[in-house]
Chain A
Amino acid sequence: MSPEGGAGAALTDRRASRSPEDRRRLALMVAVGAVVLALPLFGSSYLVSVATLALYLAYTGQAWNLMMGFAGQLSLGHSLYVGLGAYAAAGLFSHFGVGPWAGVWLAVVLCGAVGAFIGWLAFRLKVSGVQLSLLTVAFAELARIGFDHLEWLGGPGGLFLRVGDRSQLDLLAFRGPPAMYYYAMLGLCAAALGLCALLLRRRAGYYWRAIREDEVAAQALGIDTLRWKLFAVVLSSTMTGVAGVFFAFYNNSLFPEQIFSFGRSIEIVLGPVIGGLGTLFGPVVGAVTLVLLGDGATEVLTRAGIDVPGVRQAIHGVVLLIVTIYLPNGLWPPLARRLGVRSARL
């Protein structure tokens, strides 16, 4: 515990003194928390579904950020874990009637194992950078083609889940009104945020950042880089797999062409990159920004009677372009400064 001792003591000191910054941060968190908790009470069902999407992107972004933002390992194939998690739980449900609460464990084990396998192969054989990202894309594409040929799980025609009574709240079968899915995703998001905040203050967080900044130096300091990189990949893939289970029971239809697509992987990447790579709140800020701008513009256009496909994604592209050019550290660090809270890139 020695490396954290000093930081921990400093933290207690700061807490005791309750600087204005801490008070601002607390006030901000309470305000945001109150709004998100109360949203289904005053929001329309459309707003709730859009907010659920934002939370979903924030959660998957957080999982991806753990691997790339913290440990510096670039994956462009995270749709693999969404798809595997989704098909694992949906397959169990549609063939054996096993509910999502049991299915999620299969998803976690499967995604963790696949993540560990890919990570181990790549890291043992020293695949990194562009090559690593291409390797992750290749595995996602292989899964897409594989599931296209797996008739047992619906093949290219898709796998559909029985939809019960939507208005009845049935927590055991994970069926209910949109608000239930919203709160489930909110819970996942909060848990992921808490886990990342915790890990960053532990040994894992320090080791990951050391590896991200200079892997050779980290190794020279005696860090078992293979082990800690694998830890990041496995954690990231299992978290993403849980999102897949949610996706399956929220959407009730799965198509390999969609769920494993490269576009889906990019969608996961966008939030954390736009919000701020390697920051704790970046994935959340990025996901909310994307959904606000993308779905907001689509909604405005639809209301005006213009139905054009591609507007949402084109806006995502433009936002990514602008952020990459003008805000290389993402939206959150400057935003946090403006709000008067700490934002140092973790």
Chain B
Amino acid sequence: MPALSHVANAVVSGMLTGTVYGLMALGLSAIFGVIRLVNFAHGELMTLAMYAAVAVFQGLALDPFLTMTAVALAFGGLGYALQRGFINRFVHRAEHAQMLLMISLAIIIGNLLLLGFGPDARNVQTSYQLDSFELGPLLLDKVRVFAAAAAIVTTGLLAAFFRFTLTGKAIRACADNPVGARVAGLPVAHLYAVTFGIGAGSVAVAGCAMVQLIDVTPGLGPSYTLLAFIIVIVGGLGSMVGALLGGLVIGVSEALAGLLIAPSAKSMVSFGLLVLLLLARPQGLMGAGRR
């Protein structure tokens, strides 16, 4: 049995990583909750953002935390264009057809990254990468703290956007009742595109934050798509608070499983949790009931 301080360290670092996971899943949850689109390319979008951060770091020696805003804005624009110009034509297709569309995009992005960057793992090395904050018995990695801080700020901004701005309220109206929103004269196509842009932007922030926590390879996408799905299912599909909560639950349980069982058992706990929740409570921890 590891010492208590080790467990406490694992829990805290799991919570920090979990915040970033939560932000990543928030993007997926928003896209599903509003557009009803199952974004199977979510992990690939994050991988793309990570490569963008790596490329900027190698080219201009800019810290990923500084490039984060620019990458997020670029992804927001990209997401808006992708939804408005392309995916929007498919929102009325059958669920599995939409999933296959996103899977095809995922395959293309993943393999273009492989073509462009090769199969080797890439990472970003900053001067403070190995530094940590000491907080009593706790040792907090600086990169993890910064990543969590970025995720929390972004989440706060998004929450404020959905709560206080007219566009945010309109998007929530679309999510509640798309037909009603259309009848009331809301520009649904535009709002869907804004939502996809927000989803892509938040996954871009998560990617820039993650790039110092893990090495990036072109094949990273599918496992993070699945992780985002696990988190969203744990928290409840379409629930934003749920996505954050799910991120924390998964982050902490992964860290604890890595410490108490074996590092390779991390994802076993996540997938086990997914199976249990799908079977026992498909609406998730925060969901209101069966949809």
Interface residues of A (CB under 8 A from B): 68, 74, 121-122, 125, 127, 129-131, 133-135, 137-139, 141-142, 145-146, 148-149, 262-263, 266, 269, 273, 308-311, 313-314, 316-318, 320-321, 324-325, 328
Contact = CB atoms under 8 A, between A and B. Distances in A.
Contacts of A125: 279-280, 282
24 contacts: A74-B99, A127-B278, A131-B278, A135-B274, A138-B275, A141-B267, A142-B271, A145-B265, A262-B226, A263-B222, A266-B103, A308-B115, A309-B115, A309-B118, A309-B119, A311-B115, A314-B107, A314-B114, A317-B106, A317-B108, A318-B104, A318-B108, A321-B105, A328-B93
Contacts of A273: 100
Contacts of B105: 317, 321
B38 A135 contact: no
Given A141-B226, A145-B268, A316 B107 contact: yes
Secondary structure class of chain B's binding surface, majority of residues: helix
A12 B211 CA distance: 66
A238 B112 CA distance: 35
Nearest to B273: A138
B275 A324 contact: no
Contacts of B106: 317
A134 B100 contact: no
Contact of B96 (A74, A308, A309, A325): A74
Given A129-B95, A314-B107, A142 B279 contact: no
Given A145-B264, A317-B107, A131 B101 contact: no
Interface of B: 38, 90, 93, 95-97, 99-101, 103-108, 110-112, 114-115, 118-119, 218, 222-223, 226, 229-230, 233, 237, 262, 264-265, 267-268, 271-272, 274-275, 278-280, 282
Given A131-B278, A309-B119, A314-B112, A320 B103 contact: yes
Nearest to B93: A328
A310 B111 contact: yes
Sort A-B residue pairs by CB-CB distance and give the 9 closest, nearest first. A317-B107, A310-B114, A314-B111, A320-B104, A310-B111, A317-B108, A321-B104, A145-B268, A313-B111
